[in-house]
Structure 1
Amino acid sequence: MQRELYEVEKDRFDLKDSSLYHLQGTWPKDHKPEAVLDGEKLPAAISAQERVSALERFKDLDLVNGERVQMEIKLPDLEGKKKLVVYAVKGGKRIQWFAVSAAQLYRKQGKPQYFIESIEVESAEKICRVRGWAAFNRPLTIRLEDRSRKEIPCEITRLKRVDVQNQYQETEIDEKSGFFFEFHYDNVKEFYIVFEAGNVRTLRLVHLQPQKRLAEKAAVYFRKGSRYMKLHGAAALTGKVFGKVMNRKNRPVDYSKWIVKHLPDKAELAEERKTKFSWNPKFSIVIPLYKTPEKYLQQLVDSIEAQTYGNWELCLSDGSGVDSPLTDYLAGLEKSDERIRVIRNDQALQIAENTNAAMEAATGDFIVFADHDDEMTSDALFQCVKALNENPEIEVLYSDEDKMSMDGHKFFQPHFKPDFNIDLLCTVNYICHLFVVKKEIVDQIGMLKKEFDGAQDYDFVFRCVEAAGREKIHHIPRILYHWRCHEDSTAENPESKMYAFDAGARAIKAHYDRIGVPVEIEKGEYLGLYRTKFLWEEKPLISIIIPNKDHIDDLKRCIDSIEEKATYRNYEYVIVENNSTEDETFAYYKELEASNPKAHVVYWDGIFNYSAINNFGASHAKGEYLLLLNNDTEIISPDCLEQLLGYCMRPDVGAVGARLYYEDDTVQHAGVVIGFGGIAGHCFVQQKRDATGYCHRIICAQDYSAVTAACMMVKREAFDKVHGLSEEFQVAFNDIDFCLRLGKAGYLVVYNPYAELYHYESKSRGLEDTPEKVARFNREIASFEKHWPEILRDGDPYYNPNLTLESQDFSLKRI
């Protein structure tokens, strides 16, 4: 039998009536509550928890015999009282659910309330980060104090928390009830977080000493363990502890151990050296030098000479000038291997012209680019020639890469990249190394341009991929390149080369200019990231298609957010009424159509079929662009429609998705990967709103195989070309199937993180909790597998096979 821990997870006093005590948590099903204060039974009302956060939903997957509840207890005067105990009662048997001293309750009653969600302490860096929320019925200030009650200067960021507002239904609280701060401490061992409203205040002590923090954790585990043992016995507790210790599934993978297992060993390298290919192209490795430390250059040369594929030449251009410190060393290199060629220059050269000098000397079929102090893995060229023999049409190749310590012994921060992704490339130069291009492409587009020095490779990559076309660009999902990090390298210290980021913005703008798309390029949230703002002159009509069944509070919030916030005004609403039963719903429709000329209600009389309902709505839409939108969404960014439309108006784009949040400000959608959960799943689910994800992917505009139709803008022409959503998928996977069919038709599907909305979940449809619904869901899984076996077998091209499908955070696949 499933052994579960039923516990109170949140408790608080009512902010309007301080005699009401609210509890939330997990509760054994079919049990009645009994609240007892010093032997006296108190009134206690229990009900299903109305609003459940994304994290709670995730935890509830393991909840079989329990349910999530909220309880309200009416307390008498607490003076002189000792203890409140709450029991779950069934058939004469009582289980203690919760206990608290009356003194603790008395201290909380009528005071500001708070909840600490996370405390992170980095002892080495002396940094403490705290995140949580606080609420009261009067304006609330938050500050830090030391043990002597002296205020500690610290910037505290206040955050909007819709979920906390929803929790306090009895009164209005500040919408910015969330808070976050980063405290840089020195000799402080502990501090207080002070929540204050006038002369009323609550304190929370935070320990910074490792032993004190460990003791706090131990106390929490002891309390949980004691309660679990009371419920299920000592044997069950022992089994649970053993399972926790043995379960390594959720532990992060150590990359330093992972890479050792994934680099070829001596036997594999020996086999590679024996391999015979039908085509043996020559690779010209071009490297610009500028007063390069000899030991690093020698390590690079050693890594090239260790290649298991031998048809290469190394072209070294020394741009150090007439008094180069490398002269003698390079002369010795040239003599040591006839495949090494040195180009000497009489004057110091900038990076572009220095690289060009090496390229001019190249005689190979393909040009390989590397920096003067990095290293290639021994199988780098072998993997390239293997790919070329498998597909001789390839004209551009690139690989995954990682970073390497100065001594060359530590490997870290791997960058596992997607297959070619033009919109990610327009956000960040994700291709970097290893980069290989056919010599014929170079002859066609020209060499590096010195006006882009600092981002000359970025501009060059754009021109190469434009000339090759996406069908002839190949990604090798293996670490073939180690990028050495030192203080002056943009790899670890971006601020050291600010000019490079300015040049990067110009490189992206030049790309768009060449393909005839009007844009403005802005720097992103971090150096090296960029945002594209499209400058289309046309302002086409957007048809916002919203299926709806009752729940007019959701629909009204959705429409009101657009009416009040959206800065783009050329749109219409097509509300698809779907079998509502409440009179208030139809009254709202009538009022909406009378008051808003943009709104039209159309009536769907069939059974619930999400695809058919949206197709029906599209048949009544007048716009060139369709916005499929759930009724339980709320736009956040005023330029949300422009953000979606900007990408969607590009000729190569079929659909655009948004960044969606749950009401507790965690990520609900940041793109879709085929393979998550066995079929498909959203990326970075439950990551905090300010998180940026693996390689900043949450905040990067990029192409994906699919995006959710909870908010998806579609070009009408593309929608019609693929005949809309497939009605074979009544509830599940219809948006995924639709996006894959757009991709098959030649369109890109783009995720734009700057179109932001809340998504409050599909309350109107309910769960897949009946035999009929489960059977339908299983049929739709089978249909999806039948239609898309290749991508399920081969993997999502916009993901990476080295990353796990067991979670949605882009973490490493287990060894």
Structure 2
Amino acid sequence: MGPAPRRPVDGAPGMSPGTDLLTAAKPPRSTLVDFLRRKARAWAPALSYRILRQAELETDSDGRLVSTGVDPQIFIQLTEREQVPRWLRIRFRVQQVSTPLNPMLYAFASGEGNRWVEYRLPSIENGVLDEIVLVPPGMNMLRLDPTNGPAVFRLTDLVLHEVGRSELLVEAWSTDRRAVLRALGYRMLRRRNRSRKFLMRAFDARRSGRGYEEWLSLFDRAGSAPFLPVRQAADAAVAKTGPLISIVMPVFNPPERFLREAIRSVLAQTHENWELVLSDDASTERSVARVMAWAAHLDPRIRVIRSETQGGISTATNLAMVAVKGDYVAFMDHDDLLPPGSLAAVAAEIAAHPQVRLIYSDEDKVDDLGNRYDPFFKPEFDPDILLGQNMLNHLCVIHRQTLVEAGPLRSTLDGSQDHDLLLRVMRRIDRSAVRHIPEILYHWRRSRKPRSFSQQQQHQVVRARMAAVREHLAATIPGAKADLAMAGYVRIIWPLPDPAPRVSIIIPTRDRVALLRPCVESILAKTAYPDFEVIIVDNASTDPETLSFLASVSADDRVRVLRHPGPFNFSEINNIAARQATGELLCFVNNDIEVTEGDWLREMASHGVRPDVGAVGAKLLYPDGHIQHAGVVVGLGGVAGHAFKSLVRNHPGYFGRLCVTHEVGAVTAACMLTKASSFWQVGGFDAENLAVAFNDVDYCLKLREAGQRIIMTPFACLIHAESASRGPDTEGPALLRFQSEIAYMKDRWADTLPADPFYSPNLSLVGHGYTLAFPPRRGVRP
């Protein structure tokens, strides 16, 4: 929830500015960086500020701060409102913590609640938080949210000061030297905005918390030495007698070192029952023939095929596929790497699930020096994502007979030949025959100099991808169309029946005509859908202007107004309206939603009529254009949390997730479309246990339990002023009701909340999502 300015209250207990924690926390070290750090801080510009108030925080008898809601806040006013960007440093000490805190910092201008910037601070237990942020011009208010839920802690010695240029460079240098050098270069060219961007990158990296290198050292079961004895012992039974896995590797002029490293990574596999087929596509580099001769002589499990003429990656791969002997075929590029436990993990998955026909894993990247970075922790198999992007490579292992049935790779689609093959494979197997191993089993080489076809010929890759998807749609989904989406991904436009099914748009409301009017008027004026009705459920409005608007708008033949007196119960109100709806499809819409694009309902309905889809959600934006909702991660923050919250409108999301339609654990009922038949099949919203919060998440989980899918489309986009109509659940009886709803969800869905199939167990459920989990949720799989 974005920060809204509140009335200042002086004298927040225990929160006056304190001592300099950077030196108080630990004795200074005798290093050059620390020496420069102390000197630079001494030269820092003075900053005038005062702490105004705290909200949803109380001080207990021991002097500790107790969070009384889910959004505790501390407000700080900067005395001067600068018209240029400025770097600020915030430091405070946390002690006696009952649960790890996930703090947030917001900057905004007093009196301008819709324009704000969000900073995600690292989680903290006991210790000092010390961070540097860039505050945009004109913003003179800060709001510190120490945590996002109930907690007990002592927060002291809050210090804020402006960061001078010397201190800024010293701190950035200690985090990311390359970013600092680039920033200085752009500064010399007088490109200040570009310079700030690279300095921000350094501090963003520092705020991201524990890094991938540490995560690998602790939890990389397939590739790190401490785990290999465990992996070898667990897989000893299948190491020799398990399935023969054939690795096909097309080769064309790779650097000699990279080719040798790729082959050595296969030789290092703990699973012994493999073969490697090297298919040389008429390489012109002499080193290739030398390395292949070395490899073939080294191990009888390695075979070499050489073409006299260059045919391209598809032709070379096809020649290798014809020669394989294994029951399963793995695909590997000539400069990539397999961690030692890759094939062992695949063999174990096959042994546990003999019916499997396609296996894919997580992956990361490796640079020229062998440094690993940029892990891609994937969701469980989602056919909608596969239509928009090839998320299955790498590592991808396919049953050989399935490959024979699908046919060879097609050279006319080089660049997206693997995507095309996977689409053809999926026409022949059921979704249940696909297994995902949530471990890093493949290292994708990303050299400084682009070497692969897909890196050099991006335009041709996109054309090939579009051609493959369009052919697949023609064969499987008559009437569907494929369009180019953001960042080269593919948007699928699903067909609607003719005539289009009626949609009943249900809007609960109570007073607040300033919200309701633009909601209803924008729906009526801008929605380009042939058949819909609007049902407004008035929950005891008393405001004369609201009543007048309801009377006037009901004159429109498309609008009905229902009366429902009594306490606000979102679930009950919507259930009552759904019983009187005449539409085959129901679309639940909050009264603080505003339509901006005419095809929003057509997009949602086209998914809603799909037989296997239970509910559809839209991308919702705050009034300032940042993302409020783009799907719900079940389990995030304890029960459920919005994915990608506060990112800019056109952010691609985690590995392009917001560029394609995709499956999610749940969606918000602020704008959710569902079949009326599905709604009543699972009993509608739970009015008894979930009157206000989490009823939409509960409904989606009931649909999934009944075998239906939940779809989020980024191509239906609306404005949502979250909770503006009823306020947050953070005070008095509302807080007690909210806490009881949390308890109900945790009890009802205890086994489901930690295991959202579309959110990797390697990603954290603490904080704001899509950061590394310490530790991963091993063994928690759907």
Structure 2 length-normalised TM: 0.73
- Quick one: structure 1 residues 727 and 249, their matched pair in 2 at CA, closer, same or farther if it must change by over 3 Å? farther
The structure showing larger relative contact order (alpha-carbon pairs under 8 Å, at least 6 residues apart) is 2
What letter corresponds to residue 163 of structure 1 in structure 2? N
What letter corresponds to residue 602 of structure 2 in structure 1? E
Aligned partner of 1:146 in structure 2 is: none
What letter corresponds to residue 457 of structure 1 in structure 2? D
Aligned partner of 1:704 in structure 2 is: 664
- Quick one: structure 1 residues 133 and 727, their matched pair in 2 at CA, closer, same or farther if it must change by over 3 Å? closer
Match of 1:603 among 550, 555, 563: 563
Query: Hey, what's the Cα distance between the residues in 1 that align with 2:397 and 2:708?
Result: 26
- More displaced stretch, 378-387 vs 486-495: 486-495
Aligned partner of 2:541 in structure 1 is: 580
| 1:593 is the counterpart of 2:548 | no
- More displaced stretch, 803-812 vs 511-520: 511-520
- Quick one: structure 1 residues 551 and 114, their matched pair in 2 at CA, closer, same or farther if it must change by over 3 Å? farther
Per the alignment, in what secondary structure is the counterpart of residue 761 of structure 1?
coil
Aligned partner of 1:39 in structure 2 is: none
> Residues 462-511 of structure 1, C-alpha deviation per residue, up to 9 Å, x if partnerless?
22233222222111111111111125648898564321111111222222
Aligned partner of 1:315 in structure 2 is: 277
- Quick one: structure 1 residues 25 and 449, their matched pair in 2 at CA, closer, same or farther if it must change by over 3 Å? farther
> Residues 302-346 of structure 1, C-alpha deviation per residue, up to 9 Å, x if partnerless?
101111111111111111269976334323322221111112223
- Work out whether residues 592 and 599 of structure 1, in 8 Å CA contact, stay in contact via their aligned partners in 2: yes
Match of 1:253 among 205, 210, 232: 210
What letter corresponds to residue 166 of structure 2 in structure 1? Q
| 1:627 is the counterpart of 2:584 | no
Query: Hey, what's the Cα distance between the residues in 2 that align with 1:25 and 1:687?
Result: 29
Aligned partner of 2:398 in structure 1 is: 437
Query: Hey, what's the Cα distance between the residues in 1 that align with 2:381 and 2:664?
Result: 11
- Work out whether residues 542 and 626 of structure 1, in 8 Å CA contact, stay in contact via their aligned partners in 2: yes
Aligned partner of 2:363 in structure 1 is: 401
Aligned partner of 2:684 in structure 1 is: 724
- Quick one: structure 1 residues 24 and 382, their matched pair in 2 at CA, closer, same or farther if it must change by over 3 Å? same
Match of 2:605 among 623, 639, 645: 645
- Quick one: structure 1 residues 493 and 261, their matched pair in 2 at CA, closer, same or farther if it must change by over 3 Å? farther
- More displaced stretch, 337-346 vs 463-472: 463-472
What's the CA shift for 1:298?
1.2
- Work out whether residues 543 and 625 of structure 1, in 8 Å CA contact, stay in contact via their aligned partners in 2: yes
What letter corresponds to residue 436 of structure 1 in structure 2? V
What's the CA shift for 1:354?
1.2
- Quick one: structure 1 residues 29 and 581, their matched pair in 2 at CA, closer, same or farther if it must change by over 3 Å? farther
Query: Hey, what's the Cα distance between the residues in 2 that align with 1:531 and 1:570?
Result: 24
Query: Hey, what's the Cα distance between the residues in 2 that align with 1:636 and 1:501?
Result: 30
- Quick one: structure 1 residues 734 and 466, their matched pair in 2 at CA, closer, same or farther if it must change by over 3 Å? farther
- Work out whether residues 545 and 575 of structure 1, in 8 Å CA contact, stay in contact via their aligned partners in 2: yes
- Quick one: structure 1 residues 495 and 336, their matched pair in 2 at CA, closer, same or farther if it must change by over 3 Å? closer
Alignment map for 1:454-603 (pairs within 5 Å): 454-487=415-448, 489=450, 494=455, 496-527=457-488, 529-536=489-496, 538=498, 539-594=500-555, 596-603=556-563
- More displaced stretch, 443-452 vs 362-371: 443-452
> Residues 507-542 of structure 1, C-alpha deviation per residue, up to 9 Å, x if partnerless?
222222222242322222213x22222343633322
Query: Hey, what's the Cα distance between the residues in 2 that align with 1:462 and 1:479?
Result: 23
Match of 1:681 among 627, 638, 641: 641
- Indicate the structure (1 or 2) with the bigger Cα radius of gyration: 1
Alignment map for 1:92-111 (pairs within 5 Å): none
| 1:290 is the counterpart of 2:252 | yes
RMSD after superposition: 3.8
What's the CA shift for 1:420?
0.7
Alignment map for 1:25-36 (pairs within 5 Å): 27-28=10-11
Aligned partner of 2:183 in structure 1 is: none
| 1:381 is the counterpart of 2:343 | yes
Match of 2:299 among 332, 337, 357: 337
Percent of residue pairs identical: 33
Alignment map for 1:751-770 (pairs within 5 Å): 751-769=712-730
> Residues 145-192 of structure 1, C-alpha deviation per residue, up to 9 Å, x if partnerless?
xxxxxxxxxxxxxxxx9925xx9xxxxxxxxxxxxxxxxxxxxxxxxx
What's the CA shift for 1:213?
5.4
Per the alignment, in what secondary structure is the counterpart of residue 723 of structure 1?
coil
- Quick one: structure 1 residues 561 and 494, their matched pair in 2 at CA, closer, same or farther if it must change by over 3 Å? farther
What's the CA shift for 1:262?
2.8
Query: Hey, what's the Cα distance between the residues in 2 that align with 1:671 and 1:755?
Result: 12
- Work out whether residues 246 and 276 of structure 2, in 8 Å CA contact, stay in contact via their aligned partners in 1: yes
- Work out whether residues 657 and 713 of structure 1, in 8 Å CA contact, stay in contact via their aligned partners in 2: yes
- Work out whether residues 545 and 617 of structure 1, in 8 Å CA contact, stay in contact via their aligned partners in 2: yes
Stretches (4+) displaced over 6 A: 46-49, 59-64, 97-100, 117-120, 131-136, 214-217, 321-324, 490-493
Aligned partner of 2:199 in structure 1 is: none
Per the alignment, in what secondary structure is the counterpart of residue 418 of structure 2?
helix
What letter corresponds to residue 228 of structure 2 in structure 1? L
Per the alignment, in what secondary structure is the counterpart of residue 376 of structure 1?
coil
Aligned partner of 1:614 in structure 2 is: 574
What's the CA shift for 1:384?
1.1
What letter corresponds to residue 211 of structure 1 in structure 2? S
What's the CA shift for 1:768?
3.2
Match of 2:332 among 360, 370, 375: 370
Alignment map for 1:172-251 (pairs within 5 Å): 210-211=165-166, 251=208
What letter corresponds to residue 506 of structure 2 in structure 1? I
What's the CA shift for 1:734?
1.1
Aligned residues: 628
Per the alignment, in what secondary structure is the counterpart of residue 652 of structure 2?
coil
Query: Hey, what's the Cα distance between the residues in 2 that align with 1:657 and 1:99?
Result: 40
- Work out whether residues 117 and 132 of structure 1, in 8 Å CA contact, stay in contact via their aligned partners in 2: no
What letter corresponds to residue 256 of structure 1 in structure 2? E
> Residues 256-295 of structure 1, C-alpha deviation per residue, up to 9 Å, x if partnerless?
3322333344353234334333671110111111123332
Per the alignment, in what secondary structure is the counterpart of residue 468 of structure 1?
coil
Query: Hey, what's the Cα distance between the residues in 2 that align with 1:598 and 1:645?
Result: 18
Structure 1 length-normalised TM: 0.70
- Work out whether residues 663 and 760 of structure 1, in 8 Å CA contact, stay in contact via their aligned partners in 2: yes
Match of 2:758 among 795, 798, 807: 798
| 1:270 is the counterpart of 2:221 | no
Aligned partner of 1:201 in structure 2 is: none
What letter corresponds to residue 674 of structure 1 in structure 2? V
- Quick one: structure 1 residues 114 and 208, their matched pair in 2 at CA, closer, same or farther if it must change by over 3 Å? closer
Query: Hey, what's the Cα distance between the residues in 2 that align with 1:162 and 1:495?
Result: 46
- Work out whether residues 402 and 483 of structure 1, in 8 Å CA contact, stay in contact via their aligned partners in 2: yes
- Work out whether residues 69 and 735 of structure 2, in 8 Å CA contact, stay in contact via their aligned partners in 1: no
Query: Hey, what's the Cα distance between the residues in 2 that align with 1:133 and 1:99?
Result: 11
Query: Hey, what's the Cα distance between the residues in 1 that align with 2:748 and 2:8?
Result: 42
What letter corresponds to residue 285 of structure 1 in structure 2? I
What letter corresponds to residue 552 of structure 2 in structure 1? E
Per the alignment, in what secondary structure is the counterpart of residue 441 of structure 1?
helix
What letter corresponds to residue 646 of structure 2 in structure 1? Q
Aligned partner of 2:384 in structure 1 is: 423
Per the alignment, in what secondary structure is the counterpart of residue 738 of structure 2?
helix
Query: Hey, what's the Cα distance between the residues in 1 that align with 2:522 and 2:390?
Result: 35
Aligned partner of 1:140 in structure 2 is: none
Per the alignment, in what secondary structure is the counterpart of residue 375 of structure 2?
strand
Query: Hey, what's the Cα distance between the residues in 2 that align with 1:705 and 1:674?
Result: 6
Aligned partner of 1:173 in structure 2 is: none
What letter corresponds to residue 599 of structure 2 in structure 1? D
> Residues 569-623 of structure 1, C-alpha deviation per residue, up to 9 Å, x if partnerless?
42110111222233333322211111x1110112224543222211211112122
